[in-house]
Amino acid sequence: MKTFLNLKGSLFDLTIPRVMGIMNITPDSFFKGSRAMADSNILLAVSAMVEAGADMIDVGGYSSRPGAKMISVAVEKERVKRALTIIRERFPDLIISLDTFRSEVAQMGISDFGIDIINDISAFGFDTGMFDLVAEKNIPYIMMHMQGTPSDMQNNPEYKDVVNDLLVWFAEKCEKLVSKGVKDIIIDPGFGFGKTIDHNFRILNNLERFHVLGFPVLVGLSRKSMICKTLDITPENALPGTIVMNTVALMKGASIIRVHDVTEAKQAIKLLGRMKAQT
């Protein structure tokens, strides 16, 4: 499995798992604690994550929670542009992932702010221009699986075999990108995106099987419904469950964990690293 990314000509090591902090410039993300609309709140939130040891920040201006409403490209661009301006001014060397499925927004992030990674929940399924952009720029690309769209993805999702179905889907997508010369691909199974709770747990229980694709695996489990519904709690009370799920993902070979709570994620990585050093 590939153990590094090429970030603007520098190798970014993934032999030790990395933490991606979540920065939502949206008023309606499912976890209230991740929302930051005011300029001062954006800076405070990013500063706190950087201080806690985040290896990268994922900035998004479009809520993809179940049932989320569509917003215009103009609104998304305005949110993203404002946030990236604030972040780049304070942290010019910070590794930034841009969470968008729109090639126009991604192009702006690359050309105006030098973003390092594109994080596309649709795997260029919603905007075919994204495929061409990634191929042209050869920028590291997070490819997530989702069945349906945010507005309908949880309406009775079905699979023959969820793990096998995702593996075939990813293999086809990766082959298309690799044929265009794209080398830095990251796989995200898309927990909670067009999956039942049982689907999510089956994917997590078989996460190591995704290594057959040859690319790093990112997981986004932080405070999600598979935790909340299983434990009958709200996202605000789901940090302990998130730590457990992230620890399982790390033990099964996740290279990047996308989280709201950076300190706890870094501690999990450090403790597991100490444990593995004794084998």
User: Is the Cβ–Cβ distance between 100 and 106 less than 8 Å?
Assistant: yes
Q: How far is it, in rounded angstroms, from Cα 7 to Cα 139?
A: 8
Q: Would residue 11 count as lying in a domain?
A: no
Q: Which residues of 269-278 are buried (b: 16+ CB within 10 A; e: fewer)?
A: beebeeeeee
Q: Is the pLDDT of residue 147 over 70?
A: yes
Q: How far is it, in rounded angstroms, from Cα 245 to Cα 231?
A: 13
3-state secondary structure of 200: helix
Percent of the chain past pLDDT 90, that is, above it, reads: 84
Catalytic residue check, 18: no
Which residues, including other chains, have CB under 8 Å from residue 200's CB and lie 6 or more apart? 191, 192, 224, 226
Q: Is the pLDDT of residue 144 over 50?
A: yes
pTM of the model: 0.94
Q: What is the pLDDT of residue 64?
A: 75
Strand partners, 185: 141
Please tell me which residue in 79, 195, 223, 258 is annotated as part of the active site.
258
Q: Is the pLDDT of residue 151 over 90?
A: no
Q: Would residue 28 count as lying in a domain?
A: yes
**149 vs 55, more confident:** 55
Q: What is the CATH number of the domain that holds 98?
A: 3.20.20.20
Q: Would residue 2 count as lying in a domain?
A: no
Please tell me which residue in 18, 102, 224, 266 is annotated as part of the active site.
224
Catalytic residue check, 90: no
Q: What is the pLDDT of residue 59?
A: 97
Smallest CA-to-CA distance from 37 within 63, 69, 19, 72 is with: 63
Domain that holds residue 254: 16-273
Q: Is the pLDDT of residue 188 over 70?
A: yes
Which residues, including other chains, have CB under 8 Å from residue 1's CB and lie 6 or more apart? 211, 214, 215, 216, 253
Q: What is the pLDDT of residue 156?
A: 74
Which tens digits make up the pLDDT trace of 25-59? 887 555 455 455 678 889 999 999 999 999 999 99
Smallest CA-to-CA distance from 254 within 50, 15, 12 is with: 15
Which residues, including other chains, have CB under 8 Å from residue 58's CB and lie 6 or more apart? 20, 21, 22, 23, 96, 97, 98, 99, 119, 258
Two structure tokens written together for 86: 């604030």
CB atoms within 10 A of CB 253: 16
The number of folded domains in the chain is: 1
Which tens digits make up the pLDDT trace of 76-127? 999 999 999 999 999 999 999 999 999 999 999 999 999 999 999 999 999 9
Q: What is the mean pLDDT of residues 10-14?
A: 96
Q: What is the pLDDT of residue 31?
A: 47
